[in-house]
Amino acid sequence: MSDIATYNFAYLDEQTKRMIRRAILKGIAIPGYQVPFASREMPMPYGWGTGGVQVTASIIGPDDVLKVIDQGADDTTNAVSIRAFFRKVADVETTTDTTKATIIQTRHRIPEQPLVDGQTLVYQVPIPEPLRFLEPRETETRKMHALEEYGLMHVKLYEDIARNGHIATTYAYPVKVEGRYVMDPSPTPKFDNPKMHMSAALQLFGAGREQRIYAIPPYTKVVSLDFEDHPFEVQTFDRPCALCGAEQVYLDEVILDDRGGRMFVCSDTDFCEKRREAGHVGELGMAMEDVR
């Protein structure tokens, strides 16, 4: 730890943490409900995960092991710097291994490795209100949530089908939590929506700029909205991961050259690395021993 500035454990002062914990507890008690909280200025710009960082700072303890992923990857700027931040201000152990982590802060993905009891997934949320783009008035959207008037959400899906022939929403796909609140799962791909359903892990969502916290307790029903004749379905990929050969996982496209060369690789880097360690090789990959 730096000896120039002395931070309180996990950066936030204790009063702020209590305030945020109260919001989290309320969110857990009312699954999917957006609880307002007094979001603080964090030493990072809005949009970089200020909500997620505040939630993580409020729940982390000295014994926790923290993993941070950004678009599935452990090694992107955002993930690396948030891990470094908590190493510095909370002196906690960090990891890239999904199974070792007790708290996983994420932007846009849920790990491929199924989460287990005792793990907490913290989402960074840019726009918590699923109805926002159809109804700009906050007073009105709050009323719609209160009175369970969710017809408008289907108007959005109707528009998708009318314009594209199928539900073209691929991320931030609205879900209904425990049969009551309609919730925006943050910009995760809809590929990950089924993972939220009856998950063993506690899922917390923090939106710093919009000052909202919401939660899905473990083993909660999370259903993606759809039409009877256009049921919800996830993306499928027509080829396996080019590095580890995994199927039924979410893939990122990587451009290889300026002549149209490309490959599709696991967006979850930890998952991909573990598979390669175990000897799986995709069409463009090399066996791990050869890499070394």
Partner 1 sequence: MNAHVSSRADDGPLLRVSSVSKSYGARTGCEDVSFELWPGEVLAVVGESGSGKTTLLNCISSRLLPTSGSVSYRMRDQTWRELYRMSEAERRFLMRTDWGFVHQNPADGLRMTVSAGANVGERLMAIGDRHYGNIRSTAIDWLGRVEIDADRIDDEPRAFSGGMRQRLQIARNLVTSPRLVFMDEPTGGLDVSVQARLLDLLRGLVADLGLAAIVVTHDLAVARLLSHRMMVMKDGRVIETGLTDRVLDDPREAYTQLLVSSILQV
Among 30, 44, 80, 152, binds partner 1 (CB under 8 A): 152
282 is catalytic: no
200 binds partner 1 (CB under 8 A): no
Among 230, 232, 237, 288, binds partner 1 (CB under 8 A): 230
Among 44, 65, 80, 134, binds partner 1 (CB under 8 A): 134
How many residues touch partner 1 under the rule CB under 8 A: the total is 19
- In DSSP notation, 51-89 reads HHHHHHHHH--TT-EEEEEETTBSSSHHHHHHHHHHHHH
178, 97 Cβ separation under 8 angstroms: no
> In this structure, how many other beta carbons lie within 10 angstroms of the beta carbon of residue 29?
11
80 binds partner 1 (CB under 8 A): no
| Nearer to partner 1 among residue 158 and residue 237 (C-beta) | 158
Amino acid at 226: D
Among 93, 159, 178, 252, binds partner 1 (CB under 8 A): 159
Catalytic choice (32, 51, 72, 206): 32
16, 53 Cβ separation under 8 angstroms: no
Side-by-side strand order, sheet with 202-207: 35-36, 212-216, 202-207, 120-124, 103-107, 65-70, 93-94
266 is catalytic: yes
Q: How far apart are CA 191 and CA 108, in angstroms?
A: 11
Catalytic choice (52, 241, 282, 285): 241
Amino acid at 216: I
Q: How far is the CB of 225 from partner 1 (least distance, A)?
A: 9
- Residues marked active site are found at 32, 241, 244, 266, 272
Residue ranges in contact with partner 1 by CB under 8 A? 134, 143, 147, 149, 151-152, 154-156, 158-159, 161-163, 226-230
